[in-house]
Amino acid sequence: MVVGDSMIDKYVWGDVKRISPEAPVPVIEVQSQTARLGGATNVVQNLRGVGTETFLASLCGKDADGKYLRGALKKIGCRTEGLIASAARPTTSKTRIMARQQQVVRVDSEVTADINGWEAAALWKCVAEFLSTVKGVVISDYAKGVVSQPFIGRLLKACKEQGLFVAIDPKERHFDLYEGVSVMTPNLKEAHVALGVPYAHCSDSDVKALGWKLVNKYGLRYLLITLSERGMALFEREEKVFTHLPTVAQKVFDVTGAGDTVISVYSAAITCKASPLEAAFLANHAAGLAVAQVGTASVDGESLLKACKVGLSA
C-alpha cells in the first residue's frame, strides 16, 4: 500500500530564441507538452514496474488533473478506489518549463494544509479495508497534507499491530511523526535536519556517525541515506552493520523522482524476502537508471535486472 501525496509532473518542452520585449525574460517557443505521474503515484508506478501489486490511498481534486491521475493509474494496473477526490483542494501539479532540456521555471498548483476531517475519514476507510491484504506500506511524504496527525499516527499504530513493514520517504517538517517505522530514506540534507544540525559536506565517517544517531533517535530497523553522486549508505540496527554503496549512475540528467524509485525498489525487495543489502543493491541500481532520464522517471524489472547483471560483472 502506498499512502501519501499524489501529484502530476507536467512538462512544457520548447526552445528559447529571443528575449521578451515586455520584460527581461526568455520567450519559450513551445514544441510539446507531456504529463507524468509524480509523488505517491510515481512510487506506485515504480512498484508496478518491478511487478508489485499496489493499492494507493491518496487525494486528488475534483478537476481534470484528478481524472488524468485516475486514468493513468488504471493504465498501469493500480486500483483507484483509494484515490479520494476532494473539493477542498486541487490536484497537486508541478509544471516545469523546459528549454533545450534545461528547466527555466516551475509553476506549482497545490494546497499544503493538513487534510481535514472528511478527507482523513475517507482515506482511513480505504486504508482499513485493504491494510490486512498487504505485506507493507510505503508513505510518500511531499508535505501536501496527507502525512499529518492524527491520520498517520493511526496508520502507523495499525501497521505495528499487524507487524507490517513500513517505509517512509521523509519531508523535513514531519520528522516527529516517523518514529518506529521500518526504514527511512532521507537524503543527506534531510538527515541533518532530522537531527537538528547544520547541513554540511560529510566525510564517510561523518555520514556513518550521523546515520547511527538517526537510527537510535527514531528507533529504525533500517536507514538508507541517499548521498547523490556518492551513492547511498545503509544502516542495519539489529546486525549493527553499516554499508556504503558507491553510485552506479553512468549519466546524471535529472534527479527528479529518484527518491521515489529508491524507496519503491527497496520496499518491494524487502517484502519479497531480500536481505537489506540485496534490497539496497537493487535500489542503488534503480536510482542509477532513474537519474539518467530527463524528468520524473520510473524503472521496470527487465531494465533493472540488466543493470544489476552489468554491475555484478564489473
In the prediction, which pLDDT does 307 show? 84
Q: What is the pLDDT of residue 40?
A: 96
| Closest to 256 in 3D by CA, of 58, 92, 42 | 42
What integer pLDDT is reported at residue 232 of this predicted model? 93
Identity of residue 139: I
What amino acid positions are annotated as catalytic residues? Answer: 260
In the chain, the amino acid numbered 234 is L
Residue 278's identity, in one-letter code, is E
For every residue of 180-241, DSSP letters joined together read T-SEE--BHHHHHHHHT-------HHHHHHHHHHHHHHHT-SEEEEE-GGG-EEEEETTTTE
Q: Which residues of the chain have pLDDT under 50?
A: none
C-alpha cell of residue 108 = 506549482
CATH number assigned to the domain comprising residue 250 = 3.40.1190.20
Q: Give the pLDDT score at 294.
A: 65
104 close to 97: Cβ distance less than 8 angstroms:
yes
Pair type for strands 241-245 and 232-236: antiparallel
Which residue range(s) make up the domain with 41? 2-12+31-313
- 154 located within any domain: yes
Looking at the domain assignment, is residue 104 inside a domain?
A: yes
Query: Which of 89, 88, 150, 100 is closest to 124 using CA atoms?
Result: 150
Q: What are the φ/ψ torsions at residue 98 (nearest 5 degrees)? A: -115, 135
Please report whether residue 26 resides in a domain: no
In a domain, 22, yes or no: no
Q: Given the DSSP bridges, would you call strands 136-140 and 165-169 parallel, antiparallel or unpaired? A: parallel
Prediction pTM value: 0.92
Do 43 and 4 contact (CB within 8 A), yes or no?
A: yes
Q: How many domains does the chain have?
A: 1
Residue 20 domain-assigned (yes or no) = no
**Domain membership flag for residue 17:** no
Kindly state whether residue 111 falls inside one of the protein's structural domains: yes
Element (H, E) at 86: strand 83-86
How many helices and strands in the chain, by DSSP H and E? 9, 13
DSSP 52-82: ---BEEEEEESSHHHHHHHHHHHHTT-B-TT
d(CA 237, CA 215): 7
Task: Answer for the pair 1, 127: CB distance below 8 angstroms, yes or no.
Answer: yes
